[in-house]
Structure 1
Amino acid sequence: MTFLVGKAVVDVKAGAPNNGLADDNVSRVKQLRVGRDVYPYVSAQAFRRWLRDSVPAQEPRSGVTRSGAGKNQQAHTEGRPDRYFDDDLFGYMVAKKGADAAKTCQRDTVFATGTLLSIAPRWPTQDFGTMSRGFKAGENPVIHGHELYSAELGADLALDLPRVGTFETGGSGLKIALTAEAAKEAAAQGASALTFRGSPALRLPLAERRRRASLLLRTLTSVRGGAKQSLHYGDRAPALLLLAPMKGGINPFTRIVGLRDSRIVVDARVLREELAVWRDELDGPIYLGWAPGFLGGQRDDIRVELGKEIEDGQLLIDHPRSLFNRLADEIEAGRRDSWFDDPTS
């Protein structure tokens, strides 16, 4: 059983990538307050939307159905993880009642994402604009405002590899991932039956499971999206992306990025100690994708401070796109197949 766990850091420069409710004609960025400090953030929902939108155009996405009105509205995807990459990895809930109750199904996320929260306190600033185009001489312009900020935003990540392409069809206390009709169709298309973590399940062929995991890794390095792009366009791909193969779901790398003398730092001491303490649970090297120029010369400093770990093959450092494209290639070539199975499955 292997999870790819770690951290993503997005470098926002004078941006407003995720906004909350407007207040007095001013668009507010989402922000969390701890005492007197303010931490801007991007919600996990928004980040997952960016990921979906960044998947190559030729990859089919699950359709969305909207029903009801007012406070009784519902929206759900097709709930077909056998057909769609996003239903498989991001999960869904299709809740039906009455005669359609047999169509109810649910899937917990396979790819867990935390909130992209500013690592250091950062107070947003307020900008304003005016609209006067076409107004007559002497007419007052319409004034509107919005917030923006610069910050390094970090979020924890976890990908449960054995669950990629594996769908529960029964079990105690669980909502099934596939309805009986969908399960029958999936089996006819090549999904095989197994007992997975104590529940009956269906599993897609290994080649497709490899492809989906690789697709996610490639997409993570080329994320685009966010609000206010007309005014504050900027890079939304992680400037730093650490993923480590762990035999369980624990993520010991949540604190590798922190503050030292009010500066954002990747702490070599933290990374070295966590690597040493959890070495028996690691199922391969730690992959640290780091874009050049992010955090000044710290990438070169880390290469020196952790030179022994790099030399021993315990830590791999490269540009995120280069590093995780190579890992995706290894997965698709079948060199990481052991990651896709629980020990007892």
Structure 2
Amino acid sequence: MSLTVQGFMLIDVDVAALNNAGKDTSTTLENAVATKKVNKGGRTYAYVSGQAWRYWWRETLKKDFGWNMSPVTREKKIAFTEANPVVYDDDDMFGYMRAAKEGKKNITLTRVSPLKNSALISVSPTNIVQNWSSMSRQEGDAVPYGKDEYCATMKGMFSIALDQVGTFSSEDRTGFKNFNDALAKLAIENGADLIDDPFAKDKKGDPLKLHRLEKPVRVRRVLDTLLALEILSGGAMQTTNMGDVTPKLMVLTMLNSGNHPFSHLAKDDLGKPVFSVPALKQVIADYAGRIPGKVCIGRRMGFMDELEEDLKTFADADHVFYGSICDAVREFVKEIETSIP
């Protein structure tokens, strides 16, 4: 059975500017930076791109978990990693594309990331203000500049396809050729097994083969990825607009499908972001037959404290766990260790 980790989280920041969008052309200031924002229903929402969130995630895994990160090569207008998921942890979890040719033969390697994530977007419309700042340490006049700032509770979703972690295809088809002969040989030398591909067959109708790394490697990569959320850090303008981007509320579970059911757990209520326990209960009831283990809910005390009694009442020993963010993540990873194939 193919299992997918499904996660939902809220972060909460004050006077932040987490992801900027370059020069602000709507102001008379010569030096002004705009934050990323999007309009929906005529209202403005601040957001952090999915790419920026992934960058924070990578950097946390590199600095705090000692991940062996794939070096990046830049050629003219393109850049690519080593595309070696046997050696480099991030090439496995975050995917890659390395376009190349030998003569007229296409030898491009690609890997769809087992880790997928949304953008982080404010739950409620955001009042983004441009504040005036200045560089004034030098002699003479100060040099003014402007920057967008906001307070927001932001939501995001992510998933991890457990059967894809550490598992690689050599099928000569766009999007599926993760490995070449050299990588296949290296994988076997490092203890990888050959397993049947459940979705692809050769011309004779026999299953194609996948290379799968040893289980301890795959388990470590998944657990590190989840545990990194406890200490996630990042965001633009951290020197003067430092924001805590660790989750303040999180929901984690596994589904035996890739569908993500948690997109509408948070909503706007007349300008106030709220988390809907009834919506969570409905999702869990609707997908009960597809959730093989626990639903783990974590909340940081001081954030949405009005949820405490409802979440405590909802929790039960067998199916729903409720505790702090770190407790919820660590309870969930216990289930992961026994669920990775």
What is the TM-score with the length of structure 2 in the denominator? 0.90
Q: For the residues of structure 2 that align with 1:111 and 1:198, how far apart are their CA atoms?
A: 20
Aligned to 1:4: 5
Aligned to 2:99: 95
Q: For the residues of structure 2 that align with 1:174 and 1:104, how far apart are their CA atoms?
A: 9
Distance 1:41 1:288, change over 3 A: same
1:184 alignment partner AA: K
Aligned to 1:268: 277
Q: For the residues of structure 1 that align with 2:147 and 2:186, how far apart are their CA atoms?
A: 50
**Contact 2:125 2:271 (C-alpha < 8 Å) held by counterparts:** no
CA-CA distance at 1:17 after TM superposition: 0.9
- Superposed, 1:231-246 pairs within 5 Å as 231-246=240-255
Structure 2 residue 49 is matched with structure 1 residue 37: no
State the secondary structure of the residue aligned to 1:209. helix
> Which consecutive unaligned segments of at least 5 residues does structure 2 have?
25-29, 201-208
Identity of matched residues, % = 28
Distance 1:54 1:12, change over 3 A: same
Q: For the residues of structure 1 that align with 2:271 and 2:240, how far apart are their CA atoms?
A: 29
Q: For the residues of structure 1 that align with 2:46 and 2:306, how far apart are their CA atoms?
A: 25
Q: For the residues of structure 2 that align with 1:282 and 1:26, how far apart are their CA atoms?
A: 48
Q: For the residues of structure 1 that align with 2:225 and 2:104, how far apart are their CA atoms?
A: 33
Q: For the residues of structure 2 that align with 1:327 and 1:312, how far apart are their CA atoms?
A: 13
Aligned to 1:326: 331
**Contact 1:222 1:321 (C-alpha < 8 Å) held by counterparts:** no
**Contact 1:168 1:178 (C-alpha < 8 Å) held by counterparts:** yes
Q: Pick from 188, 207, 211 the counterpart of residue 202 of structure 1.
A: 211
Q: For the residues of structure 2 that align with 1:134 and 1:101, how far apart are their CA atoms?
A: 58
Structure 2 residue 288 is matched with structure 1 residue 279: yes
| Count of aligned pairs | 325
Higher strand fraction (1 or 2)? 2
* 1:235-291: CA deviation from partner (whole Å, max 9, x where unpaired): 111111211110111111211111234322221111111111110011111111211
State the secondary structure of the residue aligned to 1:229. coil
**Contact 1:6 1:254 (C-alpha < 8 Å) held by counterparts:** no
CA-CA distance at 1:312 after TM superposition: 5.1
Q: For the residues of structure 1 that align with 2:105 and 2:229, how far apart are their CA atoms?
A: 36
CA-CA distance at 1:75 after TM superposition: 0.6
**Contact 1:102 1:179 (C-alpha < 8 Å) held by counterparts:** no
State the secondary structure of the residue aligned to 1:276. helix
Q: For the residues of structure 2 that align with 1:86 and 1:173, how far apart are their CA atoms?
A: 21
Q: For the residues of structure 2 that align with 1:281 and 1:302, how far apart are their CA atoms?
A: 22
> Which consecutive unaligned segments of at least 5 residues does structure 1 have?
none
Aligned to 2:256: 247
Q: Pick from 58, 61, 70 the counterpart of residue 69 of structure 2.
A: 61
**Contact 2:65 2:224 (C-alpha < 8 Å) held by counterparts:** no
State the secondary structure of the residue aligned to 2:239. helix
* 1:185-205: CA deviation from partner (whole Å, max 9, x where unpaired): 111211111122324310001
Q: For the residues of structure 1 that align with 2:248 and 2:148, how far apart are their CA atoms?
A: 23
**Contact 2:10 2:248 (C-alpha < 8 Å) held by counterparts:** yes
**Contact 2:253 2:332 (C-alpha < 8 Å) held by counterparts:** no
1:19 alignment partner AA: N
Aligned to 2:310: 301
CA-CA distance at 1:214 after TM superposition: 0.7
1:160 alignment partner AA: A
State the secondary structure of the residue aligned to 2:186. helix
Distance 1:101 1:219, change over 3 A: farther
**Contact 1:95 1:101 (C-alpha < 8 Å) held by counterparts:** no
Q: For the residues of structure 2 that align with 1:2 and 1:262, how far apart are their CA atoms?
A: 37
**Contact 1:14 1:232 (C-alpha < 8 Å) held by counterparts:** yes
Structure 2 residue 132 is matched with structure 1 residue 128: yes
Q: For the residues of structure 1 that align with 2:57 and 2:199, how far apart are their CA atoms?
A: 31
State the secondary structure of the residue aligned to 1:198. strand
Structure 2 residue 58 is matched with structure 1 residue 49: no
Aligned to 2:146: 145
Q: For the residues of structure 1 that align with 2:19 and 2:33, how far apart are their CA atoms?
A: 10
What is the TM-score with the length of structure 1 in the denominator? 0.89
Distance 1:193 1:297, change over 3 A: same
* 1:43-80: CA deviation from partner (whole Å, max 9, x where unpaired): 00000000010012522111111111xxxx11111111
Q: For the residues of structure 2 that align with 1:174 and 1:146, how far apart are their CA atoms?
A: 40
**RMSD (Å) for aligned C-alpha atoms:** 1.8
